Chain A
């Protein structure tokens, strides 16, 4: 922590107004039915609550649809527009998903994804503690402390009735805290959380692939892809061309067209194979490839699944079946 200060809750809207002078600001707002992250123009639109917006704020780093290239006569031009953005009220689960999954996938290794990195660099995150686990949340089983995170620029922890303690974790966070928030220096030593044992799949790839009864597991899934779109850690995409412009768009492993070959052959033609891919990619392949499972227990997929599929229960079943007898 580079700096800690106390901030009156009543002054946060003024801080957002100050931020709006130099940045795009994304924050939780209500569309009448749902709470969702959206660009704001008026701080009074921001909803302050313990609820989690139904979609993660990944769209500000990896937009659902984004213009990336324009083809000219002799050269293709990078036309991405990445405006300076502050994402406000991001919870520990989402902060970890960005830091540990999308940052690693897009910014590390031999090939770097400049489009993601540019947006990430242009963005600051202001995190916020969760007061309670919401129905479906299981961050506690995924090693996440709902009350505190350092994986952001500033983290706000409620302190008493009308105050936050703001902890700045990066130079950018310090600058924002000093320049936009009315704050007074205050000591802060967050209590280390008591975390439950992590719910992780430890079995071999082959066992998970073969022993789990994926047919039964996926029986009620309707392949709508909602689970992947609301998830902070899912990041699969496709390119689409319209005229001379190339777009990057979200894609989903829950769709059969995702892997359909031009010959008509499809390695994951059936729902069970796609369901297996989603869970194995998250909890087996990612763990093996980058040392982290791509799930932080935000519970969004569970809350929004029209078929009532509960990610935590699926995870528990996979764990048990993969570790169990050969006929699952």
Chain B
């Protein structure tokens, strides 16, 4: 049976320790034991199993144009995430997916894009950033900006990507931390405050905001006040999940299932949904 519940074996080929602050995030590079590629679109997620410990959902964190491996950036918080953090290159994990909807990359063509990331929220944005930067696609999109926030300098993930991204055409990056920190010379403050100091041209803009729920709420409100249309403010949601395919009844917000109708949602969708997330 070709089951939606049947995971496939992957080999960990690389582990990157992303943070050394309060939160412990590692990025795992995974290649299918069978050699086959896992085709996905930015915004989608997979269910990852560590046998004996269980299964949990994680957003893809690597470029969808990369067919040799996928990357997941995982914060250590509980049973499964601890178990995967304990693994090393050469160990196996299991994946099933891809699941969920994706960022409306077609619809976004021609527009400028503002990415706003809070902490680990940069992970689900990374496939989108790299998709847009891909030579096949770069011409289709306008200017892009990334506003990346973290609690402390040590909590930024993908520090090694910044140099690579800065070399891309029409791209600006703004990094900010929550509170002043000894050696930090960059910006200080929450993203929704900094937005007000940035040049935002709301008419031709898609704003993609990923991070903790509270940050999404404040940032979305600030963007709205700056005149960005609700249907062009896009975010990703997290709910506890088991099946990932709309069967187990766990992840709904109102009548919508985050695993199939999401995780990507527009602010205009959220306005229609009850506030239970």
A interface residues with partner B (beta carbon < 8 Å): 68-69, 71, 73-76, 78, 105-106, 109-115, 118, 205-206, 209-210, 235-244, 246, 251, 253, 258-263, 265, 267-268, 273, 277, 280-281, 284-285, 288-289
Q: Is B110 an interface residue (CB 8 A)?
A: no
Q: B6 touching A76 by the CB < 8 A rule?
A: yes
- In the complex, which residues 219-277 of chain B have their Cβ closer than 8 Å to any Cβ of chain A? 238-240, 242-243, 245-250, 252-255, 260, 274, 276-277
Given the known interface contacts A239-B54, A259-B240, the answer about A114 and B1 at a Cβ–Cβ threshold of 8 Å is: yes
Q: How far is the CA of A74 from the CA of B54 in the complex (A)?
A: 17
Q: Which residues of B4-22 are within 8 A (CB) of A? A: 4-9
Nearest CB in chain A: distance from B79 CB, A:
9
Considering only CB atoms, which chain B residue lies closest to A116 in the complex? B247
What are 13 A-B interface contacts by the 8 Å CB criterion? A71-B94, A111-B246, A113-B245, A205-B254, A209-B274, A239-B54, A239-B242, A241-B54, A246-B49, A253-B249, A258-B240, A262-B78, A285-B255
Residues of B with C-beta under 8 A to A111: 4, 245-247, 260
Count of residues in B whose CB is under 8 Å from the partner chain: 40
Q: How far is the CA of A111 from the CA of B240 in the complex (A)?
A: 19
Q: Is B130 an interface residue (CB 8 A)?
A: no
* Given pairs A243-B52, A259-B240, 5 additional interface contacts (CB within 8 A): A69-B6, A76-B94, A238-B242, A244-B52, A273-B276
Chain B residues lying within 8 Å of A251, measured Cβ to Cβ, are 242, 248-250
Q: Which residues of A contact B77 (CB under 8 A)?
A: 262-263
* CB atoms of A261 and B49 under 8 A apart: no
Q: How far is the CB of A305 from chain B (nearest CB, A)?
A: 20
- Does B62 sit at the interface, judged by CB under 8 A? no
CA distance A103 to B245 in the complex (A): 15
Q: How many whole Å from A248's CB to the nearest CB in chain B?
A: 8
Taking CB atoms, residues of chain B closer than 8 Å to A114 are 1-5
A118 to chain B, nearest CB (A): 7
Report Cα–Cα, A74/B9, bound state, in Å.
Answer: 6
A75 CA to B252 CA in the complex, in Å?
Answer: 31
* Structural contact, A205 and B255, CB atoms closer than 8 A: yes
With CB as the reference atom, state the residue of chain B lying closest to A258: B250
Nearest residue (CB) in B for A289 is: B255
Residue in chain B with minimal CB distance to A210 = B274
A115 and B77 CA atoms in complex are apart in Å by 31
CA distance A312 to B29 in the complex (A): 53
Contact between A265 and B274, CB atoms less than 8 A apart: no
Tell me the bound Cα distance from A118 to B242 in angstroms. Answer: 20
Once the chains are docked, how many angstroms separate the CA of A65 from the CA of B51?
A: 18
> A313 → chain B, closest Cβ, in Å?
24
Chain A residue at minimal CB-CB distance from B53 = A241
| Chain A residues in 8 Å Cβ range of B53 | 241
- Find B52's partner among A78, A239, A241, A268 (CB 8 Å cutoff): A241
The residue of chain A having its C-beta at the shortest distance from the C-beta of B3 within the complex is A114
| A residues less than 8 Å from B242 (CB atoms) | 237-239, 251
Q: How far is the CB of B99 from chain A (nearest CB, A)?
A: 8
Give the residues in chain A near B51, CB-CB below 8 Å: 71, 241, 243-244
> A71 contacts which chain B residues (CB < 8 A)?
49, 51, 94
| A73 surroundings in chain B (CB, below 8 A) | 9
Choose from A75, A242, A285 the contact partner of B254 (Cβ within 8 Å): A285
Q: Find chain A residues with CB under 8 A from B249 CB.
A: 235-237, 251, 253, 281
With A239-B55, A263-B77 as given contacts, are A281 and B248 in contact (CB-CB < 8 Å)? no
Known: A106-B247, A241-B51, A243-B52. A209 touches B6 (CB 8 A): no
The 9 closest A-B pairs by CB, nearest first: A236-B249, A285-B255, A111-B245, A262-B77, A71-B51, A262-B78, A209-B274, A114-B1, A114-B3
Question: Which residues of the partner chain A approach B6 to less than 8 Å between Cβ atoms?
Answer: 69, 76, 78
Inter-chain contacts of B276 with A (CB < 8 A): 267-268, 273
Residues of chain B within 8 A (CB-CB) of A239 are 5, 54-55, 242-243
Report whether A259 and B78 are in contact in the complex, using a CB–CB cutoff of 8 Å. Answer: no
Contact of B1 among A74, A75, A78, A253 (CB under 8 A): A78
